[in-house]
């Protein structure tokens, strides 16, 4: 009866090794032993997403959210898929729920901005950043990325703070892109 935890561990390790198919088989074994464990469903959903099986991943995330409507990982994962599917309203509603689930987590708004930027939703990313002020330097980076996506390189350059020694590679790449 305790083999489910072993299969789940194998799934996480195989996932870390990039062996997504094998990891999926392992998490399926864990779910066969204990079907009601939400983290197993979330792991399965994430593996399906990594295998580019978005429809199945979305269904698995939805199932996990039915079991635990306050699952930050479930809300994050499903929002990411909905953004990729250009179901923006659904994605933004999920992101809003995500923020309410973890209001004290300073990374919540950063993650939402990152998802919107990653999905190419520059206007939505800028609106999100404006509505959720943060001193996190990553928010500046996502704002700059969104401005660049919109072709507003002057505004992007103005939004970047002065160059500092040891700044993150991502910020340095933004500077290079602006200069180019």
**pLDDT tens string 7-49:** 999 999 999 999 999 999 999 999 999 999 999 999 999 999 9
Q: What is the pLDDT of residue 166?
A: 77
Q: What is the pLDDT of residue 64?
A: 96
Q: What is the pLDDT of residue 78?
A: 94
Q: What is the pLDDT of residue 126?
A: 95
pLDDT digits (tens, 9 = 90+) for 64-105: 999 999 998 999 899 889 988 888 788 888 888 888 887 766
Q: What is the pLDDT of residue 1?
A: 65
CB 24, CB 44: distance < 8 Å: yes
Rounded Cα–Cα distance for residues 149 and 120 (Å):
8
pLDDT digits (tens, 9 = 90+) for 117-176: 888 889 999 998 998 888 888 899 999 999 999 999 999 999 988 877 778 888 888 888
CB 132, CB 112: distance < 8 Å: yes
The alpha carbon of residue 45 and the mean position of all alpha carbons in its chain are separated, in whole angstroms, by 13
Rounded Cα–Cα distance for residues 71 and 47 (Å):
17
Q: What is the pLDDT of residue 30?
A: 96
């Amino acid at each position: 009866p305790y083999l489910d935890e072993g299969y789940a561990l194998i799934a996480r390790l195989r996932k870390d090794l990039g062996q997504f198919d094998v990891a999926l088989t392992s998490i399926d074994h864990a779910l066969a032993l204990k079907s009601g464990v939400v983290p197993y469903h979330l792991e399965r959903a994430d593996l399906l997403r990594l295998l580019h099986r978005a429809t199945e991943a979305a269904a698995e995330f939805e199932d996990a959210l039915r079991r635990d409507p306050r699952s930050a990982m479930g809300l994050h994962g499903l929002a990411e898929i909905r953004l990729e599917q250009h179901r923006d309203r659904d994605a933004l509603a999920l992101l809003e729920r995500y923020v309410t689930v973890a209001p004290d987590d300073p990374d919540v708004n950063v993650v939402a901005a990152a998802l919107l930027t990653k999905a190419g939703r520059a206007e939505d990313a800028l609106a999100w950043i404006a509505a959720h002020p943060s001193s996190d330097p990553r928010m500046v980076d996502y704002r700059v990325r969104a401005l660049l996506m919109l072709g507003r390189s002057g505004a992007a350059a103005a939004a970047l703070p002065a160059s500092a020694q040891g700044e993150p590679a991502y910020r340095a790449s933004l500077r290079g892109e602006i200069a180019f």
